[in-house]
Structure 1
Amino acid sequence: MITYVIDDAGALSGPVAFPDIPGFGSQLPGNATHLPKILAAPEPGKTWALVDGQAQQVRDQRGRVYRTADGTAEIWQQLGELPEDLTSQPCPGENFTWVNKQWTLDVYAQRSSLSAQMLEQRDTRLRDAQLRIAPLQYAEKLGMATPEEQASLLDWMHYSVELNRIEQQDHFPGTIVWPDQPQRH
């Protein structure tokens, strides 16, 4: 008889030999079994396991797998086919969804994400522009603005309006022509 060890998932490994225990002889651990012959190498992606007391090749997808709902990774430790909500294919990146047993780029989600990023950049530039505009507006309102400050205020205001209109560009959000920041301070 040939001895194999059974791991926690039920896979067979071996053959193995256990030494005789003095005074007791040959002892078989609880996680071992005898088989009549040496098992052949399993097919790729499979392993040997006991199924209803018989050695059979079963699918072995143990290891890192991914949730089809969101692509998050986890460790799978069971033999057999994966449940429908898991795959061995890693999610290639943001904005991919699981469709027809494969990751597919969600173009709408990608465009929406890129749009949000571009609008965030725009808003940062608008905040920076407002920091330049506010003191110039105060000087103008108080009648203290120099001709250079008045010209600078107009430049910054035009810049802000152009920033606010980036969504109207033909290739937004994929390609944006950012307005030049005014040079006059």
Structure 2
Amino acid sequence: MKKYARVVAGKVDNIFETANPITDEFPADQVWVDVSALPKIDYSWNAVNTNGVWTFTDSDMWGQPSLLAMQLRNARTNRLDKANTTLATSALVQKVELGLATPAEKAALLEYKQFFIDLSNVNKQPGYPLTVNWPEVP
């Protein structure tokens, strides 16, 4: 997996991880930079290209994550926690794997799988990160 940062107007406005070439995931006219080797990067960081070498710096001199980055992370984490708690306590995955699930339980597990796929694609939405249509937890 590689980690990429999309740069718009000198700022990081999207972060995406993929095993595929980034141009398979997003239009080729967008500026995506491989940041896999960086120990840390976040939304709203400054991005500067000097003779083909990208540098990224925290836009907040106090080192605090931006409010937008914190809100996105919290919204995503809350949804993941809720879904994972329900899956763990209902044992849906185990019931399906062991052949013990009812048709309704099998359908419910498929809904959760689709939810996780939709959640992983949130940052592909037009207007992201300023506009986010979060998938509903089943």
Question: Whose strand fraction is larger, Structure 1's or Structure 2's?
Answer: 1
Question: Whose helix fraction is larger, Structure 1's or Structure 2's?
Answer: 2
TM-score range, shorter chain: 0.3 to 0.5
Which one has a bigger Cα radius of gyration?
1
TM-score by length of 1: 0.36
TM-score by length of 2: 0.47
